[in-house]
Chain A
């Protein structure tokens, strides 16, 4: 990016919202994804829609790339800068614009922190269920971009089930408004659902309309210990098959249990092969009945112990412990590569075994945990990025895991997105026709490929940036 463009961007957003020091570039070169990082040319904090529109128009004109970003907790590299790019940070757009108690909806800006929204609506007896592990930090805008899931996905669904409307600036600078407070709306293509999960590649979201539901009044949280991994898997399938829908059914293996216990000290069973953390919620007596039935299923499947949280605080502590799992695993090794393979729920016990097999085959340590009720596992490879051989083995293990998941009718990513980290596997799941359609849509909306290019898929195989016009623009080639 040349001096002229930099000055123009600076005057667009104002000098105090424009950062290009080496320190600022450095600290926006990463997100929550391991290994990937790249320096941006500048970091911008736009103040209004008009500024975003101008930035994107200039990007088309001057041929630089734009990468939108929230809190930067993503796990597939969606907000990591690309070559010749500016980062557009939306964290200061953090107002809850309206909570409509008559229609049970909320208008929010994309920088609102997920947990902050939940706290506000819960004061009114309402509920916004999607709860990704990073809910204390991540933004609604990021949740929409990645169609984030979470612990409650099993019963309450994921972000897409709660997005009613979106306003976004398209790559050409136009403002798109789609959706609204109608519970039913079939006018034209369903653009709204297409936007959710588009990973910041087709527009920058500026306003989001969310659906809220009444808050369940009763919940019971159970913690079940198992001496055998397969018994835990079997328990999950049996619960699903007996037509109970818990609001949460989380699985942690022995490695994860120990790392989480190191962090939380809440007395998790260090010797158990696996634990299940299950919550049932609702109104009235059925909650107790469901809990009782789950207890019987667990006993039948050789559970070694079964505990109930005595009150809401204890339940909260247990859920917080589960949410810390990914980061807690970093206690063991400095690099944690977290994956997101998901299979149909009936195949969960098989998938758990495949993950164990991968760890043995490729001589890597894998901590496994995840949303068992959704068939969404988070096998996490504990390794060290300074050891290239270990990283190589980790990649082989994940190739194996992805392929096995696909064989079982599963997918490569349940909730983290494709981003940079999984794009090479996309075609295996979406098929060549599917990927081709995605690329055509992207080309139609983002003619010059300036918005978060190279994420999800690569449009042109080699050249992501501008073609070099002068000799000096050609960078040294490193292997």
Chain B
């Protein structure tokens, strides 16, 4: 590919120089970058990558194997965006660069096509994903998995293939969309009108979490509409260089939900939530959809964000003996503690006093797409801490990427494991028995980590923990 084409390709998507110019190379991002931490090389840092993108975009440097490799080494966790006071849109730059390098000789055409096929024809198509999942389920349930693992046959092909095979989460017996009615009503009065996006991984691999989410929402007094014609959110395609297809999916989803009357669109999957909140921005130049997308995105809420904002009342099974009713999250503690100087109101949560025996040692891992993409970090903690009987231990480096990162842990298994090992060590140090996290990718990755690094901890979505504690 000639220098000129590269230059135009990059500039076409980065409409003007201003996005590139925003980075003042102060280096504040270095401390938060998981890949820089491993190599300590400037080229594996957000600042270094931006400099390289800038030079290629301006035609000062040609694209190269090193360039391509560093762009793909990035987890796209966007921890650097959270750390960047200047507001540099690093995610946009790196994703654009990946689109361009997919068209160069540095990435094999074959792997690009395979990636596109898997994402378009399998992940994005509910039936495709179901068929693959069903095969996986048969594989897991019939003893074939045990047989294959026992023979070690996969190791003949590649050591990684056998490792990646263990990444595949246990497929649910039934997919969630067949069990959730299009309209679900709470037992009591309707307090909130909600809609639900069931995701693709959540629907097939983690169907139970979707059922738990619906059950807890119903307990909160939610009417839940789950349109049958909704589709995959498009996040995996968008982040992997196929934005055109992602936008097709976005428009389909907007049409599917537009027909219904609801105030909140609940997502329990961080990646989906983040991408659907971004529809407004992604479709702002589409005259037919700009307005609709804005409306759609403004209603999207992560399930924990919804709980923290609306504070629905829930009745929990009593941990000691008597029943207790509590609001989620309980803000009572806020009223206490004041000194003679007027207080500043910051979004910082405080420990609450509850009378329950603390018998559930719990910690929380921030999914990148919650904390960095959606800026949601205090809300889940508030909710978790307000659960009766929960003893919360903060996880060291909770916002450090676990290595899952979309399909990163499949395409770059070895790099992903380095991040996972760090995560598992931190989890081990909390001595928690349960680690909560709000994204299917992270759940799969951390579950894989519990086996690989032999850490005795249960990996749950926060809604599952709430469901367990509800009064039966």
Residue positions of A touching B, CB distance < 8 A: 19, 21-24, 26-32, 34, 45, 71-73, 89, 91-92, 113, 115, 134, 136-138, 222-223, 259-260, 262-263, 266-267, 291, 295, 305-311, 313-314, 317, 324-331, 334-336, 384, 386
Contact = CB atoms under 8 A, between A and B. Distances in A.
Contact of A310 (B27, B28, B343, B347): B343
Nearest to B48: A27
B51 A27 contact: yes
Q: 9 closest A-B pairs (Cβ-Cβ)?
A: A308-B341, A330-B86, A327-B85, A324-B85, A27-B48, A328-B85, A334-B21, A27-B42, A73-B27
B275 interface: no
Contacts of A331: 85-87
A326 B43 CA distance: 23
Contacts of B45: 27
Given A26-B61, A73-B27, A317-B346, A295 B341 contact: yes
B344 A307 contact: yes
Contacts of B178: none
Given A27-B48, A263-B85, A324-B85, A314 B344 contact: yes
B22 interface: yes
A92 B344 contact: no
- Majority secondary structure, B binding face: loop
A262 B85 CA distance: 9
Given A30-B25, A115-B31, A136-B28, 20 more contacts: A23-B66, A26-B52, A27-B45, A30-B51, A32-B27, A71-B27, A73-B26, A73-B28, A113-B31, A138-B27, A260-B85, A263-B85, A266-B346, A295-B341, A309-B344, A314-B348, A324-B28, A330-B26, A331-B87, A334-B22
A334 B55 CA distance: 16
A327 B24 CA distance: 7
A41 to B, nearest CB: 16
A91 B26 contact: no
Interface of B: 17-18, 21-22, 24-28, 30-31, 40-43, 45, 47-48, 51-52, 55, 61, 64, 66-67, 70, 84-87, 337-339, 341-348, 350
A45 B47 CA distance: 19
Contacts of A32: 24-27
Contact of A28 (B42, B61, B70, B338): B42
Nearest to B64: A23
Contacts of A23: 43, 52, 61, 64, 66-67, 70
B64 to A, nearest CB: 7
Nearest to B45: A27
A266 B343 CA distance: 13
A328 B86 contact: yes
B51 A263 contact: no
A167 to B, nearest CB: 22
A337 to B, nearest CB: 10
Nearest to A312: B348
A270 to B, nearest CB: 15
Contacts of A19: 41
Contact of A327 (B43, B86, B341, B346): B86
A22 B66 CA distance: 10
Nearest to A305: B342
Given A113-B31, A314-B346, A21 B24 contact: no
A71 B344 contact: no
A134 B28 CA distance: 7
Contacts of A336: 24
Residue in B24, B41, B337, B342 with the greatest tally of chain A CB atoms within 10 Å: B24
A328 B18 CA distance: 16
A309 B64 CA distance: 51
13 contacts: A19-B41, A26-B61, A27-B52, A29-B51, A71-B30, A89-B40, A262-B87, A263-B85, A308-B344, A311-B348, A327-B26, A327-B86, A328-B86
Contacts of B66: 21, 23-24
B151 to A, nearest CB: 37
A259 B85 CA distance: 9
A307 B343 CA distance: 6
Contacts of A307: 341-344
Contacts of A309: 344
B267 to A, nearest CB: 23
Given A22-B64, A27-B48, A137 B31 contact: yes
Contacts of B21: 334-335, 384, 386
Residue in B31, B52, B66 with the greatest tally of chain A CB atoms within 10 Å: B31
A206 B84 CA distance: 31
B342 to A, nearest CB: 6
A91 B67 contact: no
A72 B347 CA distance: 33
B52 to A, nearest CB: 6
Contacts of B84: 327
A138 B31 CA distance: 9
Nearest to A334: B21
A310 B25 contact: no
Contacts of A34: 24
Contacts of B40: 45, 89, 91-92
A26 B86 contact: no
Contacts of B67: 23
B86 A306 contact: no
Contacts of A330: 22, 24, 26, 85-87
Contacts of A138: 27
A333 to B, nearest CB: 9
B111 to A, nearest CB: 22
A162 B316 CA distance: 55
A92 B22 CA distance: 29
A384 B344 CA distance: 36
B30 A137 contact: yes
Contacts of A325: 85
B85 A308 contact: no
A309 B339 CA distance: 10
Contacts of B52: 23, 26-27
Contacts of A295: 341
Contacts of B337: 310-311
B340 to A, nearest CB: 8
A260 B85 CA distance: 8
B24 A335 contact: yes
Contacts of A222: 341
A73 B70 CA distance: 21
Contacts of A291: 341
Nearest to B28: A327
Nearest to B29: A137
Contacts of B70: 23
Contacts of B48: 27
A437 B141 CA distance: 82
Contact of A267 (B30, B338, B344): B344
A386 B54 CA distance: 14
Contact of B51 (A26, A260, A306, A334): A26
B252 to A, nearest CB: 34
Contacts of B350: 311
A27 B346 CA distance: 38
Contacts of B30: 71, 73, 137
Nearest to B66: A23
Residue in A262, A306, A314 with the greatest tally of chain B CB atoms within 10 Å: A314
A137 B343 CA distance: 31
A136 B342 contact: no
Nearest to A330: B86
Contacts of A259: 85
Contacts of A92: 40
Nearest to B83: A136
A326 B28 CA distance: 11
A92 B40 CA distance: 7
Contacts of B338: 310
A24 B17 CA distance: 23
Given A23-B52, A23-B64, A308 B87 contact: no
Contacts of A72: 27, 42
Given A30-B25, A310-B337, A330-B22, A267 B42 contact: no
